[in-house]
Structure 1
Amino acid sequence: MTVVRRGFLVVLLLLVAAGSTMLADAAPPPSLQQQVERWASDIGAPSMAVQIVDSEGLVDDASSGPEAGAPFVWGSVSKQLAAATVRGLETDGLLRDATVVVDVLPQAEHLLGDPQVTVGDLIRHTSGLPHDVSVTDDWTRRESASDAVDSMQQPSSIGPRGTFRYSSLNYLLVQAVVEQVTAGQYAEAMRRYVLDPAGASGTITDPDAYTAAVPDGHVPFFGTSRSVDVGVDSAGLGYGYLAGTIDDLGRYASWRLGNLGDPVATDTGHGTAYGDGLYNEDIEGHDVWWHSGAVPGYYTYVALVPGEDRAIVLATNRYGEIEAERVASVGRNVTTLVLDGSASDLPSSMAPAVLGVLLGLATVLLAASGWSVVRGTGERSAVGAIVRGVAAVVVGGAVIVGAVIGVPALAGGTLSAMWLWAPDVTVAFWVLLAAVFVATVVVVIKSAVGYRKLRSRTAEG
């Protein structure tokens, strides 16, 4: 009887386990709304909005946070609208892909390494111009792109024409070219050829309207968020400073699905091609044209899948360079969710590691300096004191100067730009440099004190 009962219990447990597995398998996947709420929470975004559209209009949408209906800054998503504007001008015979830039914009000659750079080179990032946010992203600039070109210095690292090299400077020049052939009215040309046909008339192109309507974005700051006043660069409508609601972005994407054409694209060397302000890539067996955009505090993403008559648009009001990969993976996840129903976990944030290294090094230096002071100072000869002090000043000074010059150069901007894009990293960077300075001063002072001790003992003897 006992054996029978045990056998019955085993069978019962197996049936329960099998039933549980079947129920789990039958459970519906998370809805778009649930995924958006999860992703917004994962990246610490106050608000996030997503729309799925086809060429007829809205298919599905989801949002999270109180500002999901407010205007978002579109960042480099703006580039595809600039390229579409150029194609509209081509249709009217006012511009061609092969138009030589300096023939239309002679004041750009000093910026370009090759005078034969064409409008198509600008659109496909094959002009040789470098990416330099110290020249672009000027929130105080209210002049046109054409006027801005006049005052710019030639970049120091121009590459060869014909090789893909992503640079927002290309699209600042695209805006200037459009201004030249439309008597200075870039925004009007974009409305005529893109925004009005798309029904995205709420898109913000006026700097005053931008300042009044666009709320602060949010950047990561030591595990939390801090707000950042998102300024506008009037010469940057073509490369990054359009703004609008998720509805505006969705209407544009819906229109662009039916007006993508067959862009001429160039190989980027990274498994993608680039044409008309969009990357072209095979994602899960589908031909996808996409581009993301970011300014401090905002991230946007547009993906067009013409073969499926689907487009995905996403916008969120949190972005910092230290979390770039993590935030960007949300856009990719929305795309795969639409294409095959899959979504992967977001990559881990780099912030703890980067901040930990910087602050850890600062702590070690300060602790070593403090221990050195507590330990006291031995006697040193004049030569020993001088050599030790000079070596400390040379090494410490080289580290500080090298970091102040080199780190922003590696980051592709200035220290002020670093503060906007990654304020917590910038604070940790300055703390580390302060620790280097303190350690240098301690060594110099101890060297001098050691020499004075030696002189005092010699005098007493």
Structure 2
Amino acid sequence: MGDRVRRVVVMSVAAILVGGSVASAQVTDVPSLQDAVVRWSGETETPGLAAQIVSTDGVVDSAETGVDGHGAPIDDATPFVWGSVSKQLAAATVLQLQSEGLVALSDAVTDRVPQAVEMLGGTDVTVSQLIHHTSGLPHDVSVTDDWSRRGSATDTVATLQRPDGATPPGDYHYSSLNYLVLQAVVESVTDGFYADALRRTVLEPAGATDVVVDATSFTDTVPPGSAPFFWTTRTVDIGIDSAGWGYGYLAGSVGDLGRYATWRLDRLRSGEPVGDAVETGRDTLYGNGLFRERIDGHDVWWHAGAVPGYFAYVALVPDENRAMVLLANRYGELEADRLAAMGRNLTHLVLGGPTPSLPSSSAPGVLAALAAVIVALLLWAAIVMRGMRRGGEPRSRRASVVRIGLTIVVAAAVVIGSITAVPSVVGVAPDAMWRWAPDATVMFWALLGSVMAVAGVIVLREVAGQRRSGR
């Protein structure tokens, strides 16, 4: 969703952040961080929002507003789910393991994780290609974001076949599958749990020791998130994928994320190697789990993330010795552009650039268009039924058979085509749509139901016509 009303949580957010919709919005006065957070929360109807600005010396400014999913006031210790912001911590973990001689970016993945042979289809994918999204793996949330998984990424990778849409390694294609396999690499080279490696190499050095990277703690401590649902907000009781710590399911407070950002900012300012950052095709580079973009005259390293019910953003500006983090307990694909704009505006706020108004949500337009089509179909069905009650015209057997056959074929083509087209158009399979866009999901199935209703009354009309004709 997002620009193309597509998911990925995260790929769509990244695309929106570099899109033009925000740039063309009306520019407002530069607010304080607290004023900005309060305003953004109100404009997006986000129940709880938290942000920090940090330097290598610590917290520069902090702001919180609203409540968590249990109704408790947001503070700097309230846990949020970080979504694809988790990827940069996975990349940082691998860099640390490389410095210890446990892995090299040039290593073949299948040498480190033989269980990935089937998934990678025999291609010579390297660890670096996983980090930079150049392995050829497609973005497919029907494979990732599985809330029933409690095993390791290594175990998960061993069960996966080559996904549809996979291509030879080389070109950049954002995909959380890369970081699922990268988590398996970490597990393999450390001969242990991903959580242990992450804590030792990144979280403890950063002082972010309260980050949730355990399924039991996640269930016990992380509050529900929220998603837009027509004119109201729906609670999302967020699930956990234990094979997804590396790509999207770390959780922690704005204080945790701020401490990590302080640590990573210091490393960037000290000359952390960024690897061979690759072109994304959207005026950005991607290296070591971060996008690099020129914003307000500065090189900014950033990443956004989303899972159902939560949105997160981190940006690092080494030449200004500033980093910023933002966490929100609301996410819906149809308003991804508005949430992504908060992160962009936070960056502008820190760098002294313009802070545009948030763009309008695409949800009302999309839902209204779907509702209009549904109403039109139901009116058509009502008109057909009214004609049946008036008696209608007798039908010849041959004409009726043709009409019935065409109706069934067209209706089946629309229903099957819609269901099969959803993943390629919006990036989410129909069975996963409910988590990411519950209101649009209701309208989608109502639309298909309306198509079936029209087809049904047309078939009934033809059958009734046959009975009246006595043929």
- Common fold by TM > 0.5: yes
The answer on 1:94 being equivalent to 2:102 is yes
The answer on 1:367 being equivalent to 2:382 is no
- Using CA pairs under 8 Å that are at least 6 residues apart, name the structure with larger relative contact order, 1 or 2: 2
SS in 2 for 1:111: helix
Q: 2:331 aligns with which of 289, 313, 319?
A: 319
The answer on 1:210 being equivalent to 2:225 is no
Extract unaligned runs of 5+ from structure 1.
1-26, 457-461
| Residues 113, 128 of structure 1: 8 Å contact kept | no
Deviation at 1:298, TM superposition (A): 0.1
Alignment TM-score, normalising by the size of structure 1: 0.91
Give the Cα–Cα distance (whole angstroms) in 1 for the partners of residues 282 and 140 of structure 2. Answer: 20
Find the counterpart in structure 2 of residue 339 from structure 1.
351
The answer on 1:134 being equivalent to 2:142 is yes
| Residues 113, 159 of structure 1: 8 Å contact kept | no
Find the counterpart in structure 1 of residue 64 from structure 2.
63
Find the counterpart in structure 1 of residue 458 from structure 2.
443
Aligned AA (2:47):
P
Find the counterpart in structure 2 of residue 146 from structure 1.
154
Deviation at 1:186, TM superposition (A): 1.1
| Residues 227, 309 of structure 2: 8 Å contact kept | yes
Output one character per residue of 1:362-383: Cα deviation in whole Å (capped at 9) or x when no partner.
1001011101211332111111
Deviation at 1:28, TM superposition (A): 8.2
**C-alpha spacing 1:341/1:62, structure 2 compared with 1 (3 Å):** farther
Find the counterpart in structure 2 of residue 431 from structure 1.
446
Aligned AA (2:236):
V
Aligned Cα root-mean-square deviation (Å): 1.3
Find the counterpart in structure 2 of residue 412 from structure 1.
427
Aligned residues: 430
Extract unaligned runs of 5+ from structure 2.
1-27, 69-73
| Residues 113, 160 of structure 1: 8 Å contact kept | no
Give the Cα–Cα distance (whole angstroms) in 2 for the partners of residues 71 and 54 of structure 1. Answer: 22
Deviation at 1:51, TM superposition (A): 0.1
Output one character per residue of 1:416-437: Cα deviation in whole Å (capped at 9) or x when no partner.
2100000000000011111101
Q: 1:227 aligns with which of 235, 238, 244?
A: 235
Q: 1:262 aligns with which of 273, 291, 294?
A: 273
Deviation at 1:321, TM superposition (A): 0.8
Alignment TM-score, normalising by the size of structure 2: 0.89
| Residues 123, 168 of structure 2: 8 Å contact kept | no
Give the Cα–Cα distance (whole angstroms) in 2 for the partners of residues 223 and 54 of structure 1. Answer: 40
Aligned AA (2:273):
D
The answer on 1:395 being equivalent to 2:407 is no
| Residues 253, 302 of structure 1: 8 Å contact kept | yes
Aligned AA (1:419):
W
Percent identical: 52
Find the counterpart in structure 1 of residue 38 from structure 2.
37
Output one character per residue of 1:2-33: Cα deviation in whole Å (capped at 9) or x when no partner.
xxxxxxxxxxxxxxxxxxxxxxxxx9842211
| Residues 54, 254 of structure 1: 8 Å contact kept | yes
Find the counterpart in structure 1 of residue 118 from structure 2.
110
Give the Cα–Cα distance (whole angstroms) in 2 for the partners of residues 189 and 408 of structure 1. Answer: 34
Find the counterpart in structure 1 of residue 49 from structure 2.
48
416-425 or 155-164: which moved more? 155-164
Output one character per residue of 1:289-332: Cα deviation in whole Å (capped at 9) or x when no partner.
00001000000000000000000100000001111111101000
Q: 1:74 aligns with which of 62, 65, 82?
A: 82
SS in 2 for 1:157: coil
Aligned AA (1:435):
S
Give the Cα–Cα distance (whole angstroms) in 2 for the partners of residues 341 and 87 of structure 1. Answer: 33
